[in-house]
Structure 1
Amino acid sequence: MLLSSSSSTRVVRASAWYDLLVTAPFATPWTYRLLHDALALGGPADRMTVLYANLMGSVVLVWSLLRVLRPLPLHGLLDGVARVLFATWQAYALTQGAAGVVWLFLGVEVAWGVAQLAPWARRNARENLAELRPETP
């Protein structure tokens, strides 16, 4: 059973739209500064923080556009794995005293991660491997 169902496609695309909306302010120094001020994160952001925020924002925007335009099951799997990583680092940041707003983002990351990884977890390894093989012309 292939994962290319319309519900899987909708979840991949919806998570991509969420990422586009939430991540867009991180993509440029000007929009990041507005976001930083709006979230009242305190003090000016140093240059390296702005650089890393812009790098992350730019990469996530491109990744999101790919998932909006081509919401493949494999993209959902990879995005789910990325969300596990993001959630891990957000949880770590919270243990280190990160701003409370991170809890909101952590909850959303976990929810999208579960939504995209659950279909893969319900299948056996052989089916998952068959889904990941490249198509032959």
Structure 2
Amino acid sequence: MAYALHPSGRSYLRVVRASAWYDVLVTAGFATPWTYTLLHGLLSSVGDVLGLGALPALDPMQTLYANLMGSVVVVWALLRILRPLPVHGLFDGVARVLFATWQVYALTHGVTGLLWAFLVVEVSFGAVQLLPWWRSRGSINEPAQQRV
């Protein structure tokens, strides 16, 4: 059965690349202490103006975790931009489910409502990258089962 979006198709790899470009654009500012300081101020100001709440005061531990997350996500995104593979979409989809889970946890514990915008994108890219795998799970597994 053919699907509009199948893990082995070119359209799927375009989605993998698009999600990677989004990640670079959104997380590059988290990757260094200097850019995170600027981004933190901007996000706090936007949160205040929109009535969604500011970020907590900047501290070295928060900066460290933001930099670790930003660095890893940027490197992972560059791999998906330069050498996209269907399996990268599968793993990225799983990572987005994890990110979304922790974002929901944070939202239920009172963090700034700005996080909702990021959550919507995480869930969207996660679904678009995982659904084709779920739909084609029988046809993808058939060759592996025949080798056993």
Other-structure match for 2:79: 66
- C-alpha change, 1:54 and 1:94, in structure 2 (3 Å) is same
Other-structure match for 1:105: 118
Which ranges of 4 or more aligned residues in structure 1 deviate by more than 6 Å? none
Work out the CA distance in 1 between the residues paired with 2:55 and 2:7.
45
1:1-137 aligned within 5 A: 3-40=7-44, 41-42=54-55, 44-125=57-138, 127-128=140-141, 130=143
CA offsets 1:70-123 (integer angstroms, 9 cap, x no match): 111000000000000000000000000010000000000000000100110101
Per-residue deviation at 1:51?
0.3
Work out the CA distance in 2 between the residues paired with 1:69 and 1:10.
12
Per-residue deviation at 1:43?
5.8
TM-score w.r.t. the length of structure 1 is 0.89
The alignment partner of 2:122 has SS state of helix
Per-residue deviation at 1:129?
7.3
1:89 partner amino acid:
W
- C-alpha change, 1:112 and 1:43, in structure 2 (3 Å) is closer
Other-structure match for 1:135: none
Rg (Cα) greater in structure: 2
Q: Which moved more, 1:86-95 or 1:41-50?
A: 41-50
Work out the CA distance in 2 between the residues paired with 1:98 and 1:43.
8
- Whether the 8 Å contact between 1:120 and 1:128 is mirrored in structure 2 is no
- C-alpha change, 1:43 and 1:72, in structure 2 (3 Å) is closer
Q: Name the % identity.
A: 63
Number of equivalent positions: 131
